[in-house]
């Protein structure tokens, strides 16, 4: 695509990258067929190609965002399915990140929208605040009929009980069992440790059982994606992680940063790019991105121990967009589940998003529910006993649309190799192999 960005704009690294991305697009339209919003809405402006035109027009002229552009960019899930499909290698993620940043700088959203975004950005990344908010939301549910629609959606997503904080999420070192083969930092994250603390617990058990010393580094926490995707500044969170893991690396060495929430993994793998123009962080960020691994990537690398129980479960593996499109990790989770003794089914339309997409299900509930229902119908068509996924956002989103149990992949791998049986699985299996 031809571009005409002014030279003064191209001196800015963000504009320079966007120009490069736009130039790569040959507007062939292959991406439209796999874009969930185009598939649902059928509007060219809700397709990757249409959005690229809108973003080009806005950024090339450095003009303030208008309501029409904002509407179509806001409807984008950032699922990155278009990046998987694109034959020209268009980096849609970098372009849409820049466009969102530009929108937040130049566009005044309606008051309720601004308040909702501010609320999400000031609650979700902070586990203690989020936990308190969820407890309050349980009471708020009683009066949810009186609340504005947006807040009602938020209340309805709150779990009926809020789990206690896990002591394993505190900064500490977990010793490897047997011979130590590696030392890794586990990113303990933000919302996940509040909603499902058992995920980090299962991860730590699995890693230590496989000879990894696991560090939960003091000062690490939210990856910054939640605020970043709201168009807010997430760099403080990212810098805190980079400082915490770099300190650990210098003190005792780190072979990997292991992440069990694929949305966060995609963001941390991008730290090197994000801080490329920051002399204080560029080198450290790139070094950490280079050793960041999704939990399943890391387990495939070090090798899974043979199962010690016969789990007897048929599992529909839901491939989170951030894992399959953002990180291109597709084979490993299914192969690990199969090696652990699960029967893994192939879900139709696996490339389509479930509608979670960070805070999308709260900000665009109508589209999110349609995508969830389509995903659930596809999953249930495979007649599984349970669903596995590698991202907390997908787990909470899909759980609101099905009675099937949905677990994190790591909970199943942990159970099969010697951990406790997850309490959401019906008591019909879990015997030692014959
Ligand atoms: S598939 Fe790639 S090159 Fe073709 S229109 Fe979409 S983004 Fe552009
Ligand atoms: S990121 Fe997803 S929703 Fe957004 S344009 Fe690409 S395919 Fe469509």
pLDDT exceeds 60 at position 429? no
Say how many domains are in the chain.
4
Among the residue ranges 90-104, 157-171, 185-199, 386-400, the one predicted with the least confidence is 157-171
Ligand 2 pocket check for 189: Cβ under 6 Å: no
- Which ligand neighbours the alpha carbon of 38 most closely? 2
Ligand 1 neighbours, Cβ below 6 Å, are: 25-31, 48-49, 82, 85-86, 88, 90
Task: Write out the two tokens for 82.
Answer: 């278009």
What is this structure's pTM? 0.92
Q: Is residue 425 part of a domain?
A: no
Say whether both 178 and 280 belong to one domain: yes
pLDDT confidence band for 354 (50 / 70 / 90)? very high
For the Cβ of 134 lying below 6 angstroms from any atom of ligand 2, the answer is no
Task: Note the pLDDT tens digit of each residue in 260-307.
Answer: 999 999 999 999 999 999 999 999 999 999 999 999 999 999 999 999
- Greater confidence (158 vs 222) lies with 222
Last residue of a domain, one of 268, 300, 332: 300
Which whole number is the average pLDDT over 163-176? 95
> Which of 66, 91, 106 finishes a domain?
106
- What separation in Å is there between the alpha carbon of 367 and the centre of ligand 2? 13
pLDDT at res. 137:
72
Among 34, 49, 91, 94, residue to substitute to test ligand 1 (most atoms within 8 Å of Cβ): 49
What percent of the chain is predicted at pLDDT more than 70? 93
Q: Is residue 396 part of a domain?
A: yes
Residue 37 near ligand 2, beta carbon < 6 Å: yes
pLDDT of 199 strictly over 80: yes
pLDDT at 430 over 60: no
In which region does residue 231 sit, left (phi positive, over 0), alpha (psi from -120 to 50) or beta (all else)? left
Is residue 426 assigned to a domain?
A: no
102 shares its domain with 118: no
DSSP single-letter state for residue 218: T
Pocket test for ligand 2, best of 48, 73, 83 (most atoms within 8 A of CB): 48
Strands of 172-174's sheet in order across: 172-174, 212-216, 182-186, 256-259, 292-294
- What is the reported pLDDT for 228? 84
Residue 293 sits in the same domain as residue 172: yes
Strands 314-318 and 386-389: parallel
Orientation angle between helical segments 365-380 and 392-399, nearest 10 degrees: 80
Mean pLDDT of 184-195: 94
Reply yes or no on whether the pLDDT at 427 is more than 80: no
430 domain-assigned:
no
DSSP 343-369: EEEPPTTTTS--S-TTTHHHHSHHHHH
Ligand 2 atom showing the smallest separation from residue 353 Cα = 2
Asked which of 88-102, 152-166, 254-268 is least confident by mean pLDDT, the reply is 152-166
The domain that contains 269 carries what CATH number?
Answer: 3.40.50
pLDDT at 136 (0 to 100):
78
Å from CA of 121 to ligand 2 middle: 22
429 belongs to a structural domain: no
Question: In the prediction, which pLDDT does 432 show?
Answer: 43
DSSP H or E run through 259: strand 256-259
Q: Ligand 2 atom 5: the closest Cα is on which residue?
A: 48
pLDDT at 214 over 90: yes
């Amino acid at each position: 695509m031809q571009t005409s960005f002014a030279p003064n704009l191209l001196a800015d690294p963000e504009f320079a990258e966007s120009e490069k991305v736009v130039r790569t697009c040959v507007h062939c339209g292959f991406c439209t067929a796999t874009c969930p919003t185009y598939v649902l809405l059928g509007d060219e402006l809700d397709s990757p190609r249409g959005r690229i035109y809108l973003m080009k027009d806005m950024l090339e002229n450095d003009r303030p965002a208008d309501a029409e552009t904002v509407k179509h960019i806001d409807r984008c899930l950032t699922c990155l399915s278009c990046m998987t499909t694109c034959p020209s290698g268009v980096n849609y993620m970098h372009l849409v990140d820049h466009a969102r940043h530009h929108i937040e700088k130049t566009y005044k959203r309606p008051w309720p929208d601004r308040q909702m975004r501010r609320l999400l950005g000031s609650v979700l990344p902070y586990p203690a605040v989020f936990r308190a908010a969820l407890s309050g939301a349980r009471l708020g549910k009683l009066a949810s009929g009186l609340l504005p629609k947006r807040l009602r959606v938020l209340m309805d997503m709150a779990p009926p009980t809020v789990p206690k904080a896990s002591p394993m999420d505190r900064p500490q070192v977990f010793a490897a069992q047997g011979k130590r083969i590696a030392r890794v930092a586990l990113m303990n994250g933000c919302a996940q440790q509040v909603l499902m603390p058992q995920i980090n617990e299962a991860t730590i058990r699995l890693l230590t059982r496989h000879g990894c010393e696991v560090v939960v580094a003091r000062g690490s926490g939210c990856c910054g994606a939640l605020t970043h995707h709201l168009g807010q500044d997430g760099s403080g969170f990212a810098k805190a992680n980079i400082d915490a893991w770099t300190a650990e690396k210098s003190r005792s060495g780190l072979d990997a940063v292991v992440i069990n929430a694929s949305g966060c993994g995609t963001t941390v793998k991008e730290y090197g790019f994000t801080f490329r123009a920051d002399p204080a962080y560029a080198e450290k960020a790139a070094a950490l991105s280079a050793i960041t691994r999704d939990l399943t990537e890391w387990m495939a690398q070090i090798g899974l121990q043979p199962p010690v129980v016969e789990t007897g479960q048929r599992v529909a593996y839901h491939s989170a967009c951030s894992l399959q499109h953002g990180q291109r990790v597709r084979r490993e989770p299914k192969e690990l589940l199969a090696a652990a003794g699960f029967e893994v089914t192939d879900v139709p339309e696996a490339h389509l998003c479930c509608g979670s997409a960070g805070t999308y299900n709260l900000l665009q509930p109508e589209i999110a529910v349609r995508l969830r229902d389509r995903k659930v119908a596809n999953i249930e068509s495979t007649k599984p006993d349970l669903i596995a996924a590698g991202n907390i956002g997908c787990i909470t989103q899909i759980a609101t649309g099905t009675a099937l149990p949905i677990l994190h992949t790591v909970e199943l791998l942990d159970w099969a190799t010697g951990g406790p049986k997850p309490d959401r699985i019906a008591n019909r299996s879990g015997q030692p192999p014959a």
